[in-house]
Structure formats: C-alpha cells, structure tokens
Amino acid sequence: MVRITYLGHSAFLVKKEGKSVMFDPWISDSPTCPKKLDDLEGADVYVVSHSHGDHGLEDAIRLSSERGGKIVGIYELANYAAERGAKAVGANIGGAFEVDEISIKLTPAIHSSDLGAPTGSIVKIGDLVIYHAGDTDVFYDMKLIGELYKPDVAMLPIGGHFTMGPLEAAKAVELLGVRRVIPMHYGTFPVLYGTPDRLRKELSGRGVEADVLEVKPGESLEV
C-alpha cells in the first residue's frame, strides 16, 4: 500500500516501503497546512511543479539542504535550487527518468512560472502511478497522458481562477480515464471557489465514473 498525506493546497507526502516523495511542499506560510517545516522529516524527492510561492520551492530548498533528498523540476528551477545549496535534478518535458529508484516524468501544464516552464508530473512509487497536474487548465493532451502512463490516481486542481475549476477538472478526469481523483488547489483563498462536491456534480453530469477522494489537510489515505 502507498500512503498519501495531504498537506494542504497542492502539497502531498507520498510514502511506500521506505521511499518518499513530496509534491509542491508549501509548508511555511501556507494557511491550510497543519504542519510546520520543523515537524517534517523530509523526503527522498521533492517534485516542484513551478516557481510560484504557493508551490513550495523555497521550502523544498530548505528541506533538501537540511534533511537531504533531491529537488526535481524543470531545468531552470533545479539550477536555481542547486545554486542555493539544495541537491537538485533538472529535467524537461519528455521521457521518464529515475531519481533514487523513483520513476518521474514531467508533463506540460498550462500556467506561468518565473523559472522555466510550469509542469505537472507522473511519478511511479512502488506499483502506484500518480499524476500530479500542478497548476493547469484542462488540455486535450491529457488524453495522451492517460493512454501512455495510465495513472492510478490523479491529483487535480479544482479551485478555478488560476487553474481548472470543477467543470474543467471533470473533463480532465474524462480525458485521463482515471478512476481515482484527489482534488487540490481549492479553498486556500476565497478566490479559489471550486469544491469537491461541485466536481462530483460535474462528473455525474458528464456520466464519468470516478471516485473523488476528498482529503482534508493533515489527513492520509492508503491506495
């Protein structure tokens, strides 16, 4: 079993048999994360989708520098992290690669970033394939992501305004063909209006069968 802990906003800690991955570890100033940075042991890999402050690049740099583990992200972001004392592996949108026996592939994301291009990621830990979409709107190539990598779980933003809302996220689920969805990037600020219930309604309206796994910050689930 793989244990997934939601740390609020777009941040997750995923653990499987001694291996661990953090996605977008925005901890220090997050209004929804129940943990403090000093409470965390760190991870083997920190996958950072882009450089906006609410996605944890600075916290990932501190965690990597103080507790070990490698930051993975687009080439320019990884260079920035390495220049500040972190261990980092830079990549680009393309084929999969391995970091500490964890398979990672960066995917496109429709968004913006101060350092390189924004990304999502496909991460395989144990036998579980996770798609963390990062900050993005829906795009038709999600169908290719589903066909090529067959994610078991998709972590999708649903808040709207800066990313997909529930309508677009429901279409993303349909394109991906994924059966389990963990909503993220909602409720942190008033402008992020999407909710898991609205996502469920949109999925039902489209006739898409998928489990919406609503996890509150600090809670965990096993898949």
Q: For 142-153, give one letter per residue: b (16+ CB within 10 A) or e.
A: beebbeebebbb
0.95 exceeded by pTM: yes
Q: Domains in the chain, ordered, with CATH?
A: 3-216 (3.60.15.10)
Q: Which residue has the tokens 């993975």?
A: 72
Q: Are 48 and 77 in contact (CB under 8 A)?
A: yes
Q: Are 124 and 153 in contact (CB under 8 A)?
A: no
Tally the residues of the chain. Answer: 223
Q: Are 6 and 182 in contact (CB under 8 A)?
A: yes
Task: Please measure the distance between the N-terminal and C-terminal CA atoms of the chain and give it in whole angstroms.
Answer: 6
Q: What is the DSSP string of 181-198?
A: EEEES-SSSTT----HHH
Residue 53, pLDDT score:
97
Tokens found for residue 50: 């882009």
- One digit per residue, the tens of pLDDT, for the chain of length 223 reads 999 999 999 999 999 988 999 999 999 999 999 999 999 999 999 999 999 999 999 999 999 999 999 999 999 999 999 999 999 999 999 999 999 999 999 999 999 999 999 999 999 999 999 999 999 999 999 999 999 999 999 999 999 999 999 999 999 999 999 999 999 999 999 999 999 999 999 999 999 999 999 999 999 999 9
Q: Are 22 and 10 in contact (CB under 8 A)?
A: no
